Amino acid sequence: MLNKKNIIILCIFLALSLFLVIWYFAPPSEEARKFSNKIDQYQPEILTKEREDLLLEFDNFAFDYFPILDDDHPLFAYSYLFSDLHKFYKLRFDKLYAEIKNTQVPDGQIKLWYVYNMGVVAKTKNLTIGFDLAHKWIDFDIPKLADQLDILIISHPHQDHYDSSLVKRALSRGVAVVLPSGKIKEEWRKPIRSDPKGKELKEIFGNSENLISMDEDETKVIKQAKITAFAAEHGKGELPVPTRWFFVEIDGFTILHTDDAELIGSETGDAFKKIPQGIDIFLMDIRSPNRLREISFLKPKIIIPLHHWEIFHGKPKTKGEGDFRKILSFKDEVHQQIPTSKVIPLIWGESISLESESQT
């Protein structure tokens, strides 16, 4: 039987649980709604002074609503889930998902949505491809993006670049999941790392017939998309993992996703000779120390800086590695040194559309 003390403890627990449930499902603040609506008034392709001010305003807004606990605190993720920043992201994701689902892309065009971190969805008339869609924690609805994909590309097995629930859902729906070849050692609560005695990455994900491993410098045609994998290095030293840059040719457009890694051979520039110059969309890691060198070799038309605002890297690291202040400074450098390339920064849920040269 419950005594008085246990009844009091139970009541406190139930009251706290009810409070958290109500808090979690409470609507976003009016400020969050207004700011999300304000973002939707801008065309990301047109980088006016007002647009730049908006990006800087996003920095201030997001830092103000950042989780109250540090990223090294065991309850950090839960702190985020009950923050207004999570509610704001959910607004952005719900808009993004509805657009991806309902948008019919005309022939000769491509539309690209920014999801999170290095996660992007690209859609043409015939195919929809996801790159590095990750982090269910950012929004528990993210796995349902699998329902809209034909192909999912995973650059490497770090949890800010893939989500196991999304992968399983994609495989169950016949989505082609493309990933690097290579063996890894997977241990509970330890970092993932390459290990020749470990399991092939494909086996870690279940070894489905829809899983497609790609070696370095290998090209495959997958559901009408021509995909080439280039060797890259991630985690030099003690914690390397299988990693690829992926070059995709889809319905007359070219996309290069760099992962957050260095292309092997980039020091001499030889590696870049394998990749056609003048690619349409360069999805690059803003933190790369060689980013200007990469652009000078590749001469992409459009550059989308990624791996910014990765909440689960924590507040200090986000400030140091990737906020819009840094990206706008990078944009100015590109404009001065490689004026033929255009930098388009994107906020969660934003999109851009491009027409093929034959249409313009």
pLDDT, block means (10 residues), the chain with 360 residues: 64 60 70 95 95 96 84 77 89 96 96 97 97 90 96 91 92 95 70 75 84 95 96 73 93 94 79 90 90 91 94 79 89 94 97 80
Neighbours of 14 (CB within 10 A): 10
Residue of 344, 340, 319, 316 whose CA lies nearest to 330: 344
Domain membership of residue 12 (yes or no) is no
Q: What is the pLDDT of residue 262?
A: 83
Q: What is the pLDDT of residue 6?
A: 66
State how many domains the chain has: 1
Domain membership of residue 8 (yes or no) is no
CATH code of the domain covering residue 120: 3.60.15.10
* C-alpha span between 286 and 120 (Å, rounded): 15
Domain membership of residue 65 (yes or no) is yes
Q: What is the pLDDT of residue 333?
A: 94
Q: What is the pLDDT of residue 237?
A: 58
Q: What is the pLDDT of residue 10?
A: 63
Domain membership of residue 288 (yes or no) is yes
Please enumerate in sequence order all residues whose Cβ is within 8 A of that of 64, keeping only pairs 6 or more positions apart, or say none. none
Domain membership of residue 279 (yes or no) is yes
Domain membership of residue 210 (yes or no) is yes
Domain membership of residue 311 (yes or no) is yes
The tokens describing 331, both together, are 């944009």
Q: What is the pLDDT of residue 14?
A: 64
Domain membership of residue 230 (yes or no) is yes
Domain span at 138: 28-352
Q: What is the pLDDT of residue 172?
A: 94
Judge whether 155 and 136 are in contact, CB under 8 Å: no
